Amino acid sequence: METSVEFLPSGDTGLTVQFGHSIDRALSHRVVRLRAEIDAAQLTGVLETVPTYRSLTIHYDPRQTTQSAIIEALQPLIAAPGATSAAPGAHWRLPVCFDGDFAPDLLHVADWTRRAPEAVIEAMTAEPLYVYMIGFAPGQPYMGDLPDALAIPRRENPVARVPAGSVLIATGKSVIYPIANPTGWYVVGRTPAPIFDPAWKQPALLSAGDTVSLSRVDADEFGEIETQVRAGGYTTERLDRP
Amino acid sequence: MSGLLKVEAPGLSTTLQDLGRVGFQSLGLPVSGALDPIALRIANALVGNSEGQGALEIRFLGPTLSVEADAVRVALAGTQAPIEVLEPSRQITPAGRSVTLHRGWKFRIGAVADSGVCYLAVGGGFDAPKVFESQSTYVRGGLGGFEGRALQIGDSLPLAFGDGPTGLERAALRTFDYGNDGPIRVVLGPQAEYFTEAGLQTFLKQEFTVSREADRMGVRLDGPTIEHAKGFNIPSDGIVTGSIQVPGSGLPIVLLADRQTTGGYPKIAAVASSDLPRLGRMRPGATLRFAAIDVPEAEALRRAQEAQLHDLISGIRLTHGLGENLEDLLLSENLISGGEWATE
């Protein structure tokens, strides 16, 4: 089993343990497994761990420990990873409207891929997407993998604000914005379903390892769901537990 | 019975902050918290609070507040601007010492010229609910603080203490030395290889200016562009406070308290944590340069800074308050030396 990793400093408060440079599910599982091991080890001065596609960032307090002490403590965990395997994730259906003002960048993406907008929508909704990680904003999922033909690179410069619920793509991945934020990605749709709420027992709807089926709705149905959400009567459909 | 502070004027951007929301980044929740945690901790120490208690973070122009409680002890830190009592009669309290205010008094922190941020602490703290274990405000997410947003006129800020302030006031003997002369120290990476040698040299040798696009999420810098070696996309990975991203424009962005938890632009370096308060305090137009150090040096600088802060806080002395003690009066007017008054 390949166990080589790189230890990359993020200043004096973060250590990124990098497993590789590509994005694939095997790498993702290694990240998730190491995270579980580190959390269980409860190392002095380690504040929290953040899993991403191909690396784990360990946040620490330099007044309590050092990066070199953490690296030393990690060596046995990396050399002989435990046998823990990830529990299967949940499978969700999320309604998305790909029409008009909900999808301001759909035409640009279609042009770039040299296909019709319908083909872009088909590529987004044909197969369930795998949730690699949660990051950037509360409850925000990074999902993949879209066909290579859809792998439009990020914008050179971020735009200042896109609305909450936006469904965006870039580099073959898709994200959903729980709140308005700047972005370097392209907005191809919007979901009325909330994906983060501090009042929920599990505040983030999605977790790394889940799968998501994007389900096309028109503007009218979008409005109906939005009304249900505001009234507190909407529950996102879970497909693995009917 | 406690009471509240009423917001007569909100200031430019005033939010409740503590030392941040630690442990929730894997849910995508930013840490938030004070842009200058050192000044926050000093303000709290001056009113007898635990150092990480929530306090009002004031940016550029402070609020005007009126006291709807029997008595409340307040202190300002991180600036030389004073606390000005407006009613019932004018009274000035310099920053760096506490003062007790009484029912019906109106007071303000005016223009803050010497720092982008300072902190007003209240003895006993504010009665705002903890969201994910912190009172810090994350404005973009509408979380924490007072209703997840900056203060607005007419807001009531509930106070947390039961009984009023007792005992003596407190004063710090000196102001904190942030080490403002000299470059901002950084540790290169984790994506240093995404930049050409020329790009790295530009980053380490040239002067940059804080642009108007500077907020709690980050500081965009104006200046020479930094040359990428292999594009500006990386698989999104982890970010720390102080990470310096360089997107396609070639202009660096230093990420601060409300930063996102992960990101896909390459990071050329991260600011040493000891120098983060300096970044938080910088105003648009401020100039800076960067200097590379290694991780052990950065860790040592942080520990030395913590020792300096510990000395300052343990040197805080009890006092009868302004005007009741000639030495205090002279000290506050900087006419005698009771310690170093460091200038910014």
Q: Which of A12, A23, A47 sits opposite B187 (nearest CB)?
A: A12
- What is each CA distance from A215 to A93, A96, B25, B71, in whole angstroms? 6, 6, 29, 58
pLDDT band for position B326 (cuts 50, 70, 90): very low
- Tell me if B270 and A181 make a contact (CB, 8 A cut-off): no
pLDDT tens digits along A201-219: 889 999 888 899 999 999 9
Q: Is A57 on the interface with B (CB under 8 A)?
A: yes
- Percent with pLDDT over 70 in chain B: 92
Confidence (pLDDT) at A1: 44
pLDDT tens digits along B202-226: 999 999 999 998 999 999 999 999 9
Contact residues on chain B for A66, CB-CB shorter than 8 A = 295-296, 299
Q: Residue B88: pLDDT above 70?
A: yes
Q: Is A239 on the interface with B (CB under 8 A)?
A: no
Confidence (pLDDT) at B5: 97
Q: Is B237 on the interface with A (CB under 8 A)?
A: yes
Nearest CA in chain A to B272: A11
Contact residues on chain B for A62, CB-CB shorter than 8 A = 273, 298-299, 302-303
Q: Is A53 on the interface with B (CB under 8 A)?
A: yes
Are the C-beta atoms of residues A12 and B298 closer than 8 Å to each other?
yes
Contact residues on chain A for B130, CB-CB shorter than 8 A = none
- Is the ipTM, as predicted for this complex, more than 0.85? yes
* Positions of chain A with pLDDT lower than 70, given as ranges: 1-3, 81-88, 242
Q: Is B254 on the interface with A (CB under 8 A)?
A: no
- Tell me if A11 and B240 make a contact (CB, 8 A cut-off): yes
- Enter the pTM of the model: 0.88
Confidence (pLDDT) at B235: 86
Instruction: Look up residue B136 and give its two tokens.
Output: 């810090």
State residue B269 phi and psi, 5-degree precision.
-170, 175
Confidence (pLDDT) at B339: 46
Contact residues on chain A for B140, CB-CB shorter than 8 A = 137, 179-181
Angle B96-B99-B105 from CA coordinates, rounded to 5°: 130
Q: Which of A13, A59, A204 sits opposite B28 (nearest CB)?
A: A204
Contacts (Cβ under 8 Å, ≥6 apart) of B218: B253, B254, B255, B256, B258, B259
Return the residue in B246, B261, B278 with the most chain A beta carbons within 10 A, the one to mutate for interface testing: B261
Q: Is B261 on the interface with A (CB under 8 A)?
A: yes
Confidence (pLDDT) at A84: 52
Confidence (pLDDT) at A86: 58
- Tell me if A57 and B242 make a contact (CB, 8 A cut-off): no
